[in-house]
Structure 1
Amino acid sequence: MDGQLGLCEEEDSHDSLVPCLLSRFLELQPHNSSTDPSEAEDKASLEMCTVKAGGMMSLAIDNRGTLWMWGNIPQESKESGISLVSSFTPTPVWDFHGRTVVKVACGNEHVVALVNAIDSHEDEDLLCYSWGYNSHGQLGLGDRQSRLHPEVVKILDEESPWTIYEVACGAFHTALLAHKKKPDATLESMCWTFGLGENGQLGHGTTQSTLFPTPVKELPQSIHLISVDCGLFHTSVVSSTGDVWSWGMEKGLGLCPDANRAETNSGGDALSPLLISCNLHQPIFPGPVKVACGAAHTVVVAQEGHKVWSWGRGRSGVLGNGKEMDSYTPTIVPWPPTIEGLEEEELNSSDGQDKVAEKKPEIIAETDEKLSTALNELKLLQTKLSIMEKYASILHGSIFGKPFNEQDIPVSLGNSGSMDIAKEWENMLEAADDRKLVTMEMFYRDMLTGVKDKLMKRKIKEIIKECLESSEVIK
């Protein structure tokens, strides 16, 4: 619908239940490509080496290190300077012309790429670039201003003692893995996160958002992290020794609202990394390879690729364990399946495709209606939130004489959702300087005067009313 399938505009206006060939990809060429017939062989050698998908966009890196994008991609806008515009075919990112893009990741509205500092395919001395929407600081550039073009994350630039080797994006946050350029006896690698933190997905021990890359300090030192991935609101990493840590929404499970009602007491967001045990008798995942996160589940590939574990929300069989039940601890995925299982799966798949084809128009209409309703509700919530933010900002500005920001939210309210007003008031007064106290005194004095005047006016009206009623009775 928005071009994320990478087909032509006529074809991409419809959803597809089966894989479609990106026939237009081979027709596209890098900016400096030649149209000379003698280079036809070179043109045919263009291959996709890496693919990634975000909320409403798709990305690919070819064998020449060129980054391609399609779907909802950042474009220039006259109104706001930047907007997400549908691109129905793969489009190269010209900002990296002459450079080699090694790795890339994307969230709902932002993109992060690791690019070689020199024109080489080696995974060393990589620079981190980010662009797109930045409402929560997910670009790591120190502010919330969106970027139309890639900008380097300066904290981890060429002057930094760290070099980045992995990147992952959640809906509105980013995670990086980096190691010291010079060997360090006490610290092998570290995970850095930034962006939205309201569910603890940054792993910093708070729900505060972060505008700059900040290390996850509660991960053990002297470890080598080999893989990182992000769900919408949770993050997971795995070390070379098989230790897996998760943090964020619902104890690092992700978008699992039923977890807080489970008998396992798994509810509540994990603000710091939690160690995930493979099972009761074996805490580590032997021979780890990779970790991957969905919106509400996590998958770990281990034993050099021969075994798979998964946990989280099990709807639609997403955990691959033959059930649709949620699992709040790792469960083994029966893989590879038996020959009988493959034949049965193929038969069921064929029958299922026939049924889906028959019901496709009804399914599309029902899905469109649900999506439209959800979007209308989301717009209504966004409008209400905007009004509440304006009201809070005006009130805060009147009292404290400065705009409202996230740092002004009491820590207890951010962590637990409740607040001791008397205690927070006392703490605020204690932390305020003389100028702020004078400003608050003037505000509350004026407000108290206004309240007294209003009470006096009402009292006078009541007295006058009583006098008039008494005079009418006497007459």
Structure 2
Amino acid sequence: MRWFGFGFNAFGQICCNERFEKGGISDPAKEVKVSAPTELRCREDRNGSCCLKTKTVRASWSRRASLHVHGDGCCVCLAGFEASASHQSCDTCVVERRECKDAFISESHLTLVFPDRIESWDLQKKDKTPSWSMKILSQSESSVDSVVKLPLVPGGFIAAKPPFFHRLSPHLQVKNLTLGGEHAILLTVTGAVYTWGQGSHGQLGHGGLVSEEEPRTVEALWGMPMNSVAAGGWHSVCISDGGDLYVWGWNESGQLGLPSRGLRKASQQKPSQQAEELCQDADTSGAAQKQEEVFISIQAFPALLDVAPSCELRTVSCGSRHTAAVTSNGDLYTWGWGEYGQLGHQTLESSDEPQCVEFFKTGQMHVVDVICGPWNTFTAAVKEEITINTPPKPLD
């Protein structure tokens, strides 16, 4: 399995700015904005001694944490802002202990899960001890399933900044939880969706712009079991058991995949003279239809989005203002804000329509996972297996 990244790269969180550091390029923007999927390389690769396999990737605005399989556990490597200093400060607790199971990274802290504890390390300091820790029962010691998938932990969840631990009611029976810029989405084992936090952009899905202090069920989805959830800066998405995608929240950059007035206006600011003449010659009925086009700035209720015709969705992830989804046949679709190349279409254009990332189809790769950072995207892909149909032998 190979991991790729594209989008915001100002701190080298996707690929190292080697050419820029050596003065080999004249345009730093070429290093800051990575518009084509670029394969990730761990630190050891440059010395030719890397033998680690990347399990998954976690990303904040300026950093990336990669979990590498090592023996029975994982070790964590950091890339991005002050990565060398941060990596050195965490070497003792991450690389040498090897039994790390998961990681969660923010702009200020790196949270790590071990079989018996959770630790948060302050990335702005070089302390040799974690700034916060919490003991947890191992599966062998607990009578209940205590598998940890950050930010979800037994009894609650971990926030991006202090206070880290927040309790959740045991009656919720949580399956998954994801944190947006100012809100949270929770998925129960029965497929019900709960949201709470800031609601000023409709990101809670309750039909209004009111905030909620406690988890509240999204009534519009009641009776339709969901399989996964994801939260962006100010928007939310979920996939049903049947592989359908539901979206709600802010659509200023087309991150919901619904018509965005801002994007349409931007695309019309540079019309050619010929296009202007054609518009003047258009019949009145066509003009009337254009005026009736509906734009959506805020979608306060969940809306069904058709991403790929006749294809179910497997997983979805949200950036600050963009969204990426993987279909059951291994195609990657992205939409929303694309100014840093985070949509992977080898342009810096934004889009309010889901578009397939052709890079992986052209390379005959099957996308199996996607993780969005605020302004970038990371995907895992495997080579497609080519099946050769051998004609049957003739009967004697």
Alpha-carbon separation, structure 2, partners of 1:219 and 1:230: 16
CA gap 1:114/1:327 in 2 versus in 1, 3 angstroms: same
Taking the aligned partners of 1:245 and 1:124, their CA distance within structure 2 comes to 29
**One-letter identity of the residue aligned with 2:162:** R
What TM-score do you get using the length of structure 2 for normalisation?
0.52
Any conservation in 1 of the 2:15–2:41 contact (CA below 8 Å)? Answer: no
Superposed displacement of residue 216, structure 1: 2.9
Say whether the 8 Å CA contact 1:266–1:328 is kept in structure 2: no
Spell out, residue by residue over 1:187-216, the C-alpha distance to the aligned partner (whole angstroms, 9 max, x if none). x21333344332122323333344444433
Say yes or no: does 1:266 pair with 2:295. yes
More helix by share: 1
Deviation at 1:320, TM superposition (A): 5.6
Q: 2:98 & 2:347 partners in 1: Cα distance?
A: 46
Contact 1:6 1:90 (8 Å CA) reproduced = no
Conserved in 2, the CA contact under 8 Å of 1:70 and 1:89?
A: no
Q: Show the counterpart of 1:232.
A: 233
CA contact (8 A) 2:108 2:161 kept: no
Q: Confirm or deny that 1:125 pairs with 2:125.
A: no
- Residue of 49, 55, 61 corresponding to 2:61: 55
Residues of 2 paired with 1:110 and 1:219: CA distance?
Answer: 34
Q: Percent identity?
A: 20
Shift of 1:176: 3.6
Q: How far off its partner does 1:249 sit? A: 0.9
Partner residue in 1 for 2:43? 23
What does the per-residue CA deviation read over 1:112-145, in whole Å, with 9 as the maximum and x for residues that have no partner?
A: 8788754359x943457669xxxxxxx788xxx9
CA radius of gyration, larger in: 1
In 1, the alpha carbon distance for the partners of 2:214 and 2:236 equals 17
Shift of 1:274: 1.4
Q: Corresponding residue for 1:147? A: 162
User: For each residue in 1:37-74, what CA deviation from the matched residue of structure 2 results, as whole angstroms up to 9, or x when unmatched?
Assistant: xxxxxxx986542211111232233441566666569x
Query: Alpha-carbon deviation of 1:230?
Result: 2.8
Structure 1 portions without partners, runs of 5+? 28-43, 74-84, 132-138, 180-187, 343-475
Out of 138, 141, 163, the residue aligned to residue 174 of structure 2 is 163
Tell whether the 8 Å contact from 1:171 to 1:231 is kept in structure 2 after alignment.
yes
Deviations 1:53-103 (A, max 9, x none): 111232233441566666569xxxxxxxxxxx97255726969x9997655
The whole-number CA distance in structure 2 between the counterparts of 1:333 and 1:104 is 28
CA distance in 1, matches of 2:337, 2:246: 18
Q: CA deviation at 1:324?
A: 6.8
- Letter of the structure 2 residue corresponding to residue 87 of structure 1: S
Looking at structure 1, the residues matched to 179 and 323 of structure 2 have their Cα atoms a distance apart, in angstroms, of 14
Q: 1:244 matched to which residue of 2?
A: 245
| Structure 1 residues 66 and 261: CA distance shift in structure 2, 3 A | same
SS at match of 1:258: helix
Q: Following superposition of structure 1 onto structure 2, how do residues 47-196 of structure 1 map, counting pairs within 5 Å?
A: 48-63=54-69, 64=73, 87-89=86-88, 91=90, 103-106=102-105, 118-120=137-139, 124-126=145-147, 146-147=161-162, 150-151=164-165, 153-156=166-169, 159-165=170-176, 167-179=177-189, 188-196=190-198
Where 1:304 maps in the other structure, the secondary structure is: coil
Q: How far is the alpha carbon of 1:302 from its aligned partner?
A: 1.4
Give, in whole Å, the separation in 2 of the partners of 1:236 and 1:196. Answer: 16
8 Å contact 2:253–2:322 — kept in the other structure? no
Secondary structure at the aligned position of 2:352 is classed as: strand
Which secondary structure state, in structure 1, belongs to the residue aligned with residue 220 of structure 2?
A: coil
Shift of 1:327: 4.2
For this pair of structures, how many residues does the alignment match? 284
Q: Distance in 1 between matches of 2:302 and 2:105?
A: 22
Asked if structure 1 preserves the Cα contact closer than 8 Å seen for 2:78 and 2:87, the reply is no
Residue 201 in structure 1 maps to residue 203 in structure 2 = yes
d(CA) in 1 for partners of 2:109, 2:193: 19
Contact 1:233 1:248 in 2 (8 A): yes
After superposition, the C-alpha distances for 1:381-413 in whole angstroms (9 at most, x for unaligned) are: xxxxxxxxxxxxxxxxxxxxxxxxxxxxxxxxx
Q: Give the secondary-structure state (helix, strand or coil) at the position aligned to 1:91.
A: helix
How far, CA to CA, are the matches of 2:211 and 2:105 in structure 1?
A: 18
- 2:219 paired residue number: 217
Q: Which moved more, 1:211-220 or 1:330-339?
A: 330-339
Show structure 2 runs of 5+ residues with no match: 1-9, 32-37, 116-135, 267-289, 366-396
Contact 2:109 2:161 in 1 (8 A): no
TM-score by length of structure 1 reads 0.45
CA 1:312–1:88 in 2, change beyond 3 Å: closer, same or farther? same
Letter in 2 for 1:268: S
Q: Structure 1's 208 and 146: CA in aligned 2 closer, same or farther, altered over 3 A? A: farther
Deviation by residue 1:339-398 (Cα, 9 ceiling, x = unmatched): 8x99xxxxxxxxxxxxxxxxxxxxxxxxxxxxxxxxxxxxxxxxxxxxxxxxxxxxxxxx
Amino acid at match of 1:154: R
More contact order relative to length (CA 8 Å, sep ≥ 6):
2
Query: Contact 2:150–2:158 at 8 Å: present in 1 too?
Result: no
Q: Do the aligned partners of 1:5 and 1:88 also contact (CA within 8 Å) in 2?
A: no
In 2, the alpha carbon distance for the partners of 1:130 and 1:338 equals 35
Post-superposition shift, 1:246?
A: 0.9
RMSD over aligned CA atoms reads 5.3
